[in-house]
């Protein structure tokens, strides 16, 4: 994906003439889509992307500020890039995204080397501020985030040549007690179905065959649109785009299942039998304190309905451990829940006390070492569940999306099944693959070996 001289996650270089720009994208796939839209602006106006920040005349850092460690990484990255104003060719340093939205003008004093700060609702004005006369006008552009891009906003897919993220909405109307995102991203704003279909067509023309649908809450998709619209209708419309073969849904909220979703997951051949549904916890008192608006029983009913309608579904979820007031008993309830539900993929995160969130002021803050111990214990439980699940796949066949040559060995190709999302789930390493298979090809394979999260496979002999 990228070969930068800096260790920071930069967008890959482009060819051609123009002002040289280095763009770093921190945080989640939704932030990456924002970075790709900013690159779209730049490339449409005689700029080229460079890998080496030392060669760049303009450096853009799109920040994350979801939790304190992410904010610290953002500040470290900005300070590292500011160094290129002295040792490199950098004339303009632009900082955008969630950290700017969170801390606003207070950053001007902290980071004086930065020329422009753009909040999450102002990134579409990047070219405008770059064209502004030096020193004229405010350094910071931060307001209530209202902007929503459409298919006319140029975007450069930087994830991989065959897979892309599609951000279907922005913002969130929930108010989970531990979460700062509604403050950073604003109210729910859904893109229209025709606009998303048009963008999917553009991505398919670039060779993309897999779309990963992301948002803060994908099950709320369309609730804010005049005339409604829902995730079921969106999946149906996107599945009619030529060239798109796989649609994967991320960030469902366990508040009930919108009409049409189960039918799409069960019956649409292009919709992966996959659902990412962050649950965060399973103990009643903790879910209540988290203001999740759901109970353990409610979550169990939703999971049971999903599995009854889509028996082969692969479920990913995430949990927070160490939330204020979480007792040993609450944690035991969570461990039992994970053992009972046997999820395919699980992420576990220690709670972070974030200023500006209701939970930060709650009594019963849990010591760091206890949080880390609980995270490790829950991941240990999940690793053994995943190991058994992976081993049960040996001897079975699957369709794999080839993404390239394995980092492990050039004799192996790497890819994913439809039940493995990019970047967060395991991969399939394919041995003895036919010559000339390009990224974006699909290959039918037989699983020959299993590790805790990854699989090894060989092509299925074509039936004579
Ligand atoms: S659903 Fe909750 S955790 Fe997710 S972005 Fe919204 S407020 Fe945050």
Q: Minimum mean pLDDT among 138-142, 256-260, 348-352, 390-394: which range? A: 256-260
What pLDDT is stored for residue 2 in this prediction?
Answer: 37
Check whether domain 163-392 has CATH 3.80.30.20, yes or no: yes
**Region 125-138: what's the mean pLDDT?**
82
Nearest residue by C-alpha to atom 8 in ligand 1: 179
Domain ranges of the chain: 20-141, 163-392, 397-459
**Region 234-244: what's the mean pLDDT?**
98
- pLDDT bin (cut points 50, 70, 90) of residue 13 is confident
> Over 90: is that where the pLDDT of 143 sits?
yes
According to the 3-state scheme, what is the secondary structure of the chain?
CCCCCCCCCECCCCCCCCEEEEEEECCCHHHHHHHHHHHHHHHCCCEEECCCHHHCCEEEEEECCCCHHHHHHHHHHHHHHHCHHHHCCCCEEEEEEHHHHHHCCHHHHHCCCCCEEECCCCHHHHHHHHHCCCCCCCCEECCCCCCCCCCCCCCCCCCCCCEEEEECEECCCCCCCCCCHHHHHCCCEECCHHHHHHHHHHHHHCCCCEEEEECCCHHHCCCCCCCCCCHHHHHHHHHCCCCCCEEEECCCCCCCCCCCHHHHHHHCCCEEEEEECCCECCCHHHHHHCCCCCCHHHHHHHHHHHHHHCCCCEEEEEEEECCCCCCHHHHHHHHHHHHHHCCCEEEEEECCCCCCCHHHHCCCCCCHHHHHHHHHHHHHHHHHHHHHHHHCCCCCEEEEEEEEECCCCCCCEEEECCCCCCCCCCCEEECCCCCCCCCCCEEEEEEEEECCCCEEEEECCCCC
**Region 60-78: what's the mean pLDDT?**
97
- Return the ligand 1 atom nearest residue 251 CA: 4
What pLDDT is stored for residue 134 in this prediction?
Answer: 60
Tens digits of residue pLDDT in 72-118: 999 999 999 999 999 889 999 999 999 999 999 999 999 999 999 99
What pLDDT is stored for residue 388 in this prediction?
Answer: 97
Please tell me the distance between residue 342's alpha carbon and the centre of ligand 1 in angstroms. 24
What pLDDT is stored for residue 135 in this prediction?
Answer: 61
Please tell me the distance between residue 176's alpha carbon and the centre of ligand 1 in angstroms. 6
Please tell me the distance between residue 215's alpha carbon and the centre of ligand 1 in angstroms. 10
- Return the ligand 1 atom nearest residue 173 CA: 6
- Return the ligand 1 atom nearest residue 182 CA: 7
Nearest residue by C-alpha to atom 1 in ligand 1: 174
Nearest residue by C-alpha to atom 2 in ligand 1: 176
**Region 403-426: what's the mean pLDDT?**
94
What pLDDT is stored for residue 133 in this prediction?
Answer: 63
Ligand 1 shell residues, CB under 6 Å: 172, 174-176, 179, 181-182, 216-217, 253
> Over 80: is that where the pLDDT of 136 sits?
no
What pLDDT is stored for residue 259 in this prediction?
Answer: 83
Please tell me the distance between residue 106's alpha carbon and the centre of ligand 1 in angstroms. 25
CATH topology (fold) of 20-141: Rossmann fold (3.40.50)
Nearest residue by C-alpha to atom 4 in ligand 1: 216
Please tell me the distance between residue 216's alpha carbon and the centre of ligand 1 in angstroms. 6
**Region 202-225: what's the mean pLDDT?**
96
What pLDDT is stored for residue 1 in this prediction?
Answer: 34
> Over 90: is that where the pLDDT of 137 sits?
no
Please tell me the distance between residue 175's alpha carbon and the centre of ligand 1 in angstroms. 7
> Over 70: is that where the pLDDT of 282 sits?
yes
pLDDT above 90 covers a percentage of the chain that reads 88
Q: For 397-459, CATH number?
A: 2.40.50.140
């Amino acid at each position: 994906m990228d070969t930068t001289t800096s260790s920071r996650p930069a967008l890959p270089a482009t060819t051609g003439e123009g002002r040289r720009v280095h763009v770093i994208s921190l945080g989640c796939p939704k932030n990456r889509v924002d970075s790709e839209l900013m690159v779209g602006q730049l490339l449409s106006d005689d700029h080229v992307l460079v890998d080496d920040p030392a060669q760049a005349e303009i450096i853009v850092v799109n920040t994350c500020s979801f939790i304190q460690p992410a904010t610290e990484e953002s500040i470290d990255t900005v300070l590292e890039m500011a160094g290129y104003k002295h040792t490199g060719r950098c004339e303009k340093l632009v900082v955008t995204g969630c950290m700017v939205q969170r801390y606003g003008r207070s950053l001007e004093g902290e980071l004086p080397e930065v020329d422009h700060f753009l909040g999450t609702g102002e990134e579409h004005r990047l070219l405008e501020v770059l064209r502004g006369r030096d020193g004229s006008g405010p350094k910071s552009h931060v307001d209530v985030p209202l902007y929503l891009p459409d298919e006319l906003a140029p975007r450069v897919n930087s994830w991989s040549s065959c897979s892309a993220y599609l951000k279907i909405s922005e913002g969130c109307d929930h108010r989970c007690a531990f979460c700062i995102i509604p403050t950073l991203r604003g109210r729910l704003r859904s893109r229209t179905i025709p606009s998303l279909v048009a963008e999917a067509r553009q991505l398919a023309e670039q060779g993309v065959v897999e779309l990963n649908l992301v948002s803060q809450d994908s099950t709320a998709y369309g609730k804010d649109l005049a005339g409604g619209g829902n995730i079921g209708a969106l999946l149906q419309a996107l599945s009619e785009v030529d060239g798109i073969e796989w649609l994967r849904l991320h960030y469902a909220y366990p508040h009930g299942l919108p009409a049409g979703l189960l039918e799409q997951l069960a019956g649409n051949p292009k919709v992966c039998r996959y659902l990412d549904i962050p649950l965060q916890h399973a103990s009643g008192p903790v879910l209540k304190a988290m203001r999740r608006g759901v109970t353990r029983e409610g979550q169990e009913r939703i999971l049971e309905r999903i599995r009854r309608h889509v028996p082969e579904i692969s479920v990913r979820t995430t949990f927070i451990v160490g939330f204020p007031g979480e007792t040993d008993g609450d944690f035991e309830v969570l461990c039992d829940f994970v053992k009972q539900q046997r999820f395919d993929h699980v992420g576990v995160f220690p709670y972070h006390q974030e200023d500006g969130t209701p939970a930060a002021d709650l009594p019963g803050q849990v010591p760091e070492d206890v949080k880390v111990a609980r995270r490790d214990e829950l991941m240990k439980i999940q690793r053994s569940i995943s190991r058994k699940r992976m081993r049960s796949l040996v001897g079975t066949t699957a369709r794999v999306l080839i993404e390239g040559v394995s980092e492990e060995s050039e004799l192996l190709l790497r890819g994913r099944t439809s039940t493995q999302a990019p970047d967060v789930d395991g991969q399939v390493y394919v041995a003895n693959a036919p010559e000339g298979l390009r990224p974006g090809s699909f290959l039918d394979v037989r699983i020959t070996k299993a590790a805790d999260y990854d699989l090894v496979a060989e092509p299925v002999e074509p039936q004579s």
